[in-house]
Amino acid sequence: MKTLNQLTDEQLVKLYEDGNNDAFEILLSRYKSKVYSYIFLIVRNRELTEDIFQDTFIKAIATIQQGRYVESGKFLGWINRIAHNLIIDYYRRERNENTVSSDGLEYDVLNNPKLSDKSIEDVMSNEQVMLDIVRLIDYLPAVQQRVIRMRFFEDLSFKEIAELTDVSINTALGRMRYALMNMRRIASEKGVALELR
């Protein structure tokens, strides 16, 4: 008989849905550092990261307990989407209260505060920038998408990425470099609005 630690994410979710609280503890221990890193990468504020982190897992628990978890094959991707939506909600509330400041926000995924000649702040909200960056990733070739997601969403080192994708560290770094260059080029081609529907 397998121990809880040996079960897949999907099996653990099912067990938790059926009332086994230990199953969720295993999921939490598996992914807490990656989810925390993902949130912090975007918000750049420890206190806010902790709040959103807690809200993410509370929402995940509620969704599973209500039987609304849809197996998508990747628990980490699912929980990061919850975190992402909560981040967007936070910035939307801030903007509506007219207290949002761009000082603490750095979208260094593109290593550049501008995606074209015009300043992003002049034409779109911070929340839209985040959404557009995530959408830009979908325009990349599959190998570049994978390295971006592994590095920024799953918080893997280039050594781990190289091992998981069976390439050298230099190849993994090269793919990241080309991915960032491509994202800048696509952003420039699409204009500031980045309407990537």
Q: What is the pLDDT of residues 53-92, one digit of tens each?
A: 999 998 998 899 888 888 776 898 889 889 998 988 888 8
pLDDT at 117: 40
Give 197's contacts (C-beta < 8 A, 6+ positions apart). none
Mean pLDDT in residue range 177-192:
78
In CATH terms, 1-100 corresponds, of 1.10.1740.10, 3.40.630.30, 3.40.50.1100, 1.20.1740.10, to 1.10.1740.10
Residue 177: pLDDT band with limits 50, 70, 90: confident
Both structure tokens of 90: 């936070």
Mean pLDDT in residue range 44-50:
89
Domain ranges of the chain: 1-100, 101-197
- How many Å is the Cα radius of gyration of the chain? 18
* Cα separations in angstroms, 58 against 44, 45, 46, 163: 21, 20, 18, 33
pLDDT at 97 over 70: no
pLDDT at 14: 92
Mean pLDDT in residue range 109-121:
41
Both structure tokens of 62: 């509620």
User: Mean pLDDT over all residues of the chain?
Assistant: 78
9-17 and 75-96 helices, crossing angle to 10°: 70
Tokens 């793919």 belong to which residue? 175
As a whole-number percent, the residues of the chain with pLDDT over 70 amount to: 75
**What whole-number distance in Å separates Cα of residue 128 and Cα of residue 134?**
10
pLDDT at 125 over 90: no
Domains 1-100 and 101-197 belong to one CATH topology: no
pLDDT at 101 over 70: no
pLDDT at 93: 82
Instruction: Look up the CATH architecture of domain 101-197.
Output: Orthogonal Bundle (1.10)
Nearest CA among 120, 127, 128 for reference residue 91: 127
pLDDT at 113 over 60: no
pLDDT at 114 over 70: no
**What whole-number distance in Å separates Cα of residue 14 and Cα of residue 20?**
9
